[in-house]
Structures are given as structure tokens and as C-alpha cells.
Chain A
Amino acid sequence: MTPLVSIEDLRVAFNGVPVLRGVDIALQKGEAVGLVGESGSGKSVTWLAALGLLPRHAQVSGSVRLDGRPILGAPAAELDQVRGGRIAMIFQDPASALNPVLTIRRQLCEALALHRDLQGNAVKAEARRLLDLVGIPDAGRRLEAYPHEFSGGQVQRIMIAMALAGNPDLLIADEPTTALDATIQAQILELLSTVRRELGMAMVLISHDLGVVAENCDRVAVMYAGRIVEQAPSNQLFADPVHPYAQGLIGALPPLDGPRRRLTAIPGTVPDPAHMPGGCAFAPRCALVADACGLAAPTLAPIADDRSVACVRAEVSRRALLGIAAE
């Protein structure tokens, strides 16, 4: 089956400094994939590059295919059909993505006019239906309101409505709830999963919050320093992480119940992209580092059905984890 989107060996450099160092990921229709990693790991850049949204001075190479057709470096006219039409994106700070001096109706109708063949009253009716769909009460009247008249959670709902205007096959949600309070975050995540189920839409959820990704995605990819280091179904990744970095991330998360334990912090910090260590980028912080780690950067290799890890010490790391579990 042809994947909906497949990215192969995607590389991005800014002014000669590589920030994305060969990313491979594929998405099936209707699938929800999570992308986790710390700031600077390249989660957002991957999708901005794939959609041609990076500034001109970024050097991008590799291949991005939508339904088998290459879209990386495609002409603007073709990309305009893809962006907002086939693939839509929402961001962390919804308020800055809306124009403060235009009504919600104007902005929603603009998106509809661009991507849907609708005329006159049908546009307004559709805008109203979208607002209803994302749970804005009294949608008909609220269409005439301005962005500042809505709360933060409602503005993110409006952004979701705008993203849905083009009937996309894939929604890329880049930290959609990071700026929101916990109870509102739960509402927005619930909305996203309902919408996805109803419309059969695929979703990429980019987040630094492992819990958010675990609960809302079928599959998770962990990124570190511009590469995917582990890819697995959500439940397996959290129950049995293999890459030492993935293990570190999960160990660093304080538990909400059960006995309190000292957090297993990963020592050191993320390497500077301009001075990347030779070999595995995680090696300087890794507890299981061996001589082989400094030789070459490990490639993402399958270790089980639907699971792959980029670590030469994967076997050792896995045994170490099982050993801890057996104690």
C-alpha cells in the first residue's frame, strides 16, 4: 500500500549548519503518529521543510512524497494545492496565527474560498458548520466576532476549524496545547481525536510531552539532534523503550502515582548543531556508550515488527532494561 506521506533522507541545513540529518518516516491514511523530542531536535523543522515553509536560505535535500508524488521542491502552484488542501498545519500559538483586525467569518471564508469550490451563502454556511464542528457555542453569531473576543482554548478551536476548511487528509499539529491550561488541553486533545475519527484524517502530533503523545497516537517517533532514534507503536515504546535516549526521557518523567523515586536525569545537554560529535550524537550523554558509538552514526534498523532503533547498543540497552525490570 502506498503510504499517504513518505519522507526519505530529509536533510536541512541553515547557513551550512545541519539541523536535520536524514529523517525517514512514513504515514498511512488515517494514522496518528507522534513526534517527540526536546527543543532543537528537529520535530517542527521536519514538517516545515516537507511543506516548503522554511526560509529561502535553508538548504533542503531528500525526498517527500504525497500519494507517491514528490512534493519537495514542487512548483508553488502545486504546493498551494497541497498546503491547506491536502495537508494542514496548526501551531502552538494560535492567537498569532489569526489576523486581529478581521472577523472570524472573513478568515474562515478566506480559507474556504482558497480550497473549496463554494459560492455565496454556501461559504458562510460551511464556515458556520466548521465552527459548530469544533464546539464553538452559538456559532452563527460568533462568526462575526474578532479573535480577541475568544479565550485561548477557543482560538485554538478556531484554528482547527480553519485547518479543516480544506478537508485535509493530514493534519500536522505542532505543540497544539502547550500554551493552554491542563483542563483546556484535555478538551482540545479530545476534540482533535473526535475530528480525526469522524473525518478519517491522518495526524502528526508534535509535542515535547510524552504523555500527550502516548495517549493520542498509534505510533511514536523519538527525535534527537536532527534524527529519529526510535520508532515504535505507542504502548510498546512506553512499556519497553530500547534507545537509551528514549529510556532517559521516560525515566525523567516524574510519576503521578505509586512510590516516588529519584528521577533518572540524562546528564549533560543537547549537542550544539555546529559542533556535532562524530558517530552517535547521543553518545556523550549515554550511560551505555562503547567504542563503536564514536565510529559512525547508527542508522534506524528494524528490531521487531513495526519497530526500529538507531543504536549499536540496542541489544545491551534492552537487556539492561529487562534486568532492571526483573529486580
Chain B
Amino acid sequence: MSPPLVEVSAISRTYAMRSGMFGRAAAVHAVDGVSLTIAKGQTLGLVGESGSGKSTTGRIVLGLEPPDSGEVRFDGKPMAAPGTTAWRAQRARMQMIFQDPLGALDRRLPVATQIREPLDIHGLGTPAARDERVRELLRAVELTPAHGARYPGALSGGQRQRIVLARALATKPDFLVCDEPVSALDVSIQAQVVNLLCDLQAQLSLTLLFISHDLRVVRQISNVVAVMYLGRIVEIGSADDLFARPEHPYTQALVSASPAPGRRSAGRILLSGDPPNPAARPTGCAFHPRCPRAIARCAREVPALSAVGGDRQVACHLVTGAATRDAA
């Protein structure tokens, strides 16, 4: 296995949230002790429902937000302090793409100008070389220079997401954080963008952190998948194996909730209750109020993420490695 490009160790992030105008500020643990490593050229998929902390994790990994505790190391070195020259150099090597391409683009500028912008900011190449690079990037995302002259409003959703991708690739980054990059796209267009991402990753040996709530898309693109619930990773393992044999009761429910053509809902695991409020996190295992298998211990002790055989790690008192895997 290649050496890790990104190492995240025990990062936490807490926000203060006031309930009502005079309410007391409550602490919301958006991310709570998350550790991850992403090997060079690999894709780590991060799945979870809204409020699980997957986007905050992405922002911290990219240095858009400092963690309250814990550390992110990029290419063996800790993240530089924001605003310094070292930080800018590091940031050129890592980029992000978001769900809403129209929100990420300036409607009043031709898209080619926007693709060129990172090159101007980081002072890469001569002006003539920059124009050539823009054409090359447009080709890489399967668009023509004619598309570059257009404004975002004159492009379709899929084309806009390609422009955002081209701009993110302008500085030849090593690492790309994709936060729900295809969620707003129709199925047929989604498949185009997913295929394009896979191709570009192989050509440019990119390392990806791919954040999505869509299990199918995540499995398609990821080598390793981590499942988050209320700010913590509850299960992590290789993509195919994790979805074929989920161990954590939450992952099992999530996989079972994913509708599949040709499969009727027989044997579906239906969770009771709503996703809990991150400001009022349950004691012990955060999942225990909705867990069909919870025991008394789950309400008292927070389960630690521990290896259960193979490359799988699970945070559950009821999953304890080889014994349960054989029994299941």
C-alpha cells in the first residue's frame, strides 16, 4: 500500500448553538474524535445522514476550518497556519468541489475566466501558458473551448459541475475533497460525472475524499468507506466488503434502506425514531435509542472503534470481531 497522503488524527469540532434568543448556549459536537488516513491515489468515501458531521470533517481536512483538538497532516507535514506562504502553497495542492455548482461559480464571469483564476492567484505559468492550460482543462472535463466563453447560466447542471471540476484541477492538486458533487444532478448526468471523476483520478493519480449520502455512488468511486453517525465514525472498511457485509447496526439499516430495482422491501430494517439532535447527543453509543439490538451497556459506555478482522473497524459493543462474523 502506498504511503498516506492525508492523516487525520482524533479531530474534534464543537459549535456553540443558542436555542432561542435568550436560551443558554449548548455545545454541538459536530465532529468528535475522528481519525482517518487516505493513501496516495486512493478514494475514501464518507457516508452518513444530515448532521452526521461529514461535511465539517471535509472542511477541517482541507484546513477551511481549524479543529478544536486533533491534527491533520498532509504529505507527512502538519497543516501550515492559515494565511502564511506555506499554507498557500499547501492549499494549491488540495482543492474542494461542492454540491451546488451554480453557487460555486460567479454568474457574471465567463467560465474560462473562472477556471483561469486559481492559476492567476497562485502565479502558475506565463499568461499565454495559462490560456493553454485552460483549454487543456476544458478538454480534460470533456468540454470545448466554446463552452469556456459562456456564462454559468448558459450551461446545464452537469456542464457546470465539470467547470467546477476543471477549476479545482487547475493547480494540479494532489488531493480533492468532493462534498456531494453529484447529488444535485439527474441520474444519467450523474453517471457521466462519476465516470469522469474515476477517469481523472486514474490519469492524474488524485487522492479523493468523497462525501455523499448516496451509498451507490460512494461504492462506485471509493476504495475505503467510513460511515459517520453524529460526529463519530461507526464503521470503516473496504468499500465492496462493507456494503456486502455491514457489521454496525446503523450501517446495516443504511444499506437495507437503500432501495434497489428488482428487490421488494422484504426484510428491510426499519429504524424507529428520528435522527437525534446533535445538540442533545444520547449518552453512551449515540445510536442506541434507535438501535434494534441495543443492550443496557450501550446507554452507558461509548463504544470505541476497534478492529474486527480484515481491514474492518467497528464501534459497537455487540460486534466483537471474528466470533460475531462467523455467527452472522
- Whether A associates with B in a native complex is yes
CB-defined contacts of A252 to chain B, threshold 8 Å: 187-188, 190-191
Among the 9-residue stretches A12-20, A263-271, A294-302, A316-324, the one with 4 or more Cβ atoms under 8 Å from chain B is: A263-271
Which chain B residues in 117-171 approach chain A with CB under 8 Å?
A: 156, 158-159
CB-defined contacts of B258 to chain A, threshold 8 Å: 182, 211, 256
Secondary structure type dominating chain B contacts: helix
The answer on a CB contact under 8 Å between B271 and A187 is yes
Q: In the complex, which range does the number of interface residues on chain B fall in?
A: 35 or more
Which chain B residues in 201-248 approach chain A with CB under 8 Å?
A: 213, 215-217, 219-220, 240, 243-244
- Interface assignment of B263: CB less than 8 Å from any CB of chain A: yes
**Bound form: Cα–Cα A181–B274 in Å:** 10
The answer on a CB contact under 8 Å between B188 and A38 is yes
Could you say which of B188, B254, B256 contacts A265, with CB atoms under 8 Å apart? B188
- Interface assignment of B257: CB less than 8 Å from any CB of chain A: yes
Would you give the shortest CB distance from B104 to chain A, in whole angstroms? 19
- Interface assignment of A253: CB less than 8 Å from any CB of chain B: yes
**Bound form: Cα–Cα A267–B193 in Å:** 11
**Contact A263:B261 (CB < 8 A) given known A183-B49, A256-B216:** no
Q: Which residue of chain A has the shortest Cβ distance to B192 in the bound complex?
A: A265
**Contact A253:B270 (CB < 8 A) given known A182-B254, A265-B192:** no
Q: Which residue of chain B has the shortest Cβ distance to A210 in the bound complex?
A: B261
**Bound form: Cα–Cα A264–B220 in Å:** 12
What is the total number of residues of chain A having a CB less than 8 Å from a CB of chain B?
Answer: 46
Could you say which of B186, B213, B216, B275 contacts A39, with CB atoms under 8 Å apart? B186
Q: Which residue of chain A has the shortest Cβ distance to B265 in the bound complex?
A: A215
CB-defined contacts of B186 to chain A, threshold 8 Å: 38-39, 208, 270
Would you give the shortest CB distance from B131 to chain A, in whole angstroms? 27
Could you say which of A184, A248, A267 contacts B275, with CB atoms under 8 Å apart? A184
The answer on a CB contact under 8 Å between A183 and B275 is yes
17 contacts between A and B (CB under 8 A): A181-B213, A183-B253, A185-B257, A186-B256, A190-B265, A209-B259, A214-B261, A235-B262, A250-B261, A252-B187, A253-B261, A254-B191, A255-B216, A256-B219, A262-B195, A264-B191, A266-B188
The answer on a CB contact under 8 Å between A256 and B187 is no
CB-defined contacts of A211 to chain B, threshold 8 Å: 258-261
CB-defined contacts of A215 to chain B, threshold 8 Å: 259-261, 263-265
The answer on a CB contact under 8 Å between B240 and A183 is no
- Interface assignment of B279: CB less than 8 Å from any CB of chain A: no
8 more CB-based (< 8 A) A-B contacts, given A38-B187, A262-B198: A181-B49, A190-B268, A210-B187, A214-B259, A251-B191, A265-B191, A269-B189, A270-B156
CB-defined contacts of A186 to chain B, threshold 8 Å: 256-257, 265, 268, 270-271
Q: Which residue of chain A has the shortest Cβ distance to B220 in the bound complex?
A: A254
**Contact A153:B274 (CB < 8 A) given known A214-B260, A260-B220:** yes
Would you give the shortest CB distance from B24 to chain A, in whole angstroms? 19
**Contact A238:B261 (CB < 8 A) given known A181-B275, A269-B189:** yes
CB-defined contacts of B257 to chain A, threshold 8 Å: 182-183, 185-186
**Bound form: Cα–Cα A312–B187 in Å:** 24
Could you say which of B219, B260, B270 contacts A260, with CB atoms under 8 Å apart? B219
CB-defined contacts of B189 to chain A, threshold 8 Å: 38, 265, 269
Interface string of A78-101 (1 = CB under 8 A from B): 000000000000000000000000
- Interface assignment of A7: CB less than 8 Å from any CB of chain B: no
CB-defined contacts of A254 to chain B, threshold 8 Å: 191, 194, 216-217, 219-220
Would you give the shortest CB distance from B270 to chain A, in whole angstroms? 6
Q: What are the nearest 7 A-B pairs in CB distance?
A: A211-B259, A252-B191, A265-B191, A181-B49, A238-B261, A254-B220, A38-B186
CB-defined contacts of B268 to chain A, threshold 8 Å: 186, 190
**Contact A214:B270 (CB < 8 A) given known A38-B187, A181-B49, A265-B191:** no
Q: Which residue of chain B has the shortest Cβ distance to A39 in the bound complex?
A: B186
Would you give the shortest CB distance from A307 to chain B, in whole angstroms? 16
The answer on a CB contact under 8 Å between B254 and A269 is no
**Bound form: Cα–Cα A270–B185 in Å:** 12
Would you give the shortest CB distance from A221 to chain B, in whole angstroms? 15
Q: Which residue of chain B has the shortest Cβ distance to A41 in the bound complex?
A: B186
Q: Which residue of chain B has the shortest Cβ distance to A209 in the bound complex?
A: B259
The answer on a CB contact under 8 Å between A256 and B255 is yes
Interface string of B3-40 (1 = CB under 8 A from A): 00000000000000000000000000000000000000
**Bound form: Cα–Cα A39–B189 in Å:** 11
Would you give the shortest CB distance from B220 to chain A, in whole angstroms? 4
CB-defined contacts of A276 to chain B, threshold 8 Å: none
Q: Which residue of chain A has the shortest Cβ distance to B275 in the bound complex?
A: A181
CB-defined contacts of B190 to chain A, threshold 8 Å: 252
CB-defined contacts of A238 to chain B, threshold 8 Å: 261-262
- Interface assignment of B69: CB less than 8 Å from any CB of chain A: no
- Interface assignment of A121: CB less than 8 Å from any CB of chain B: no
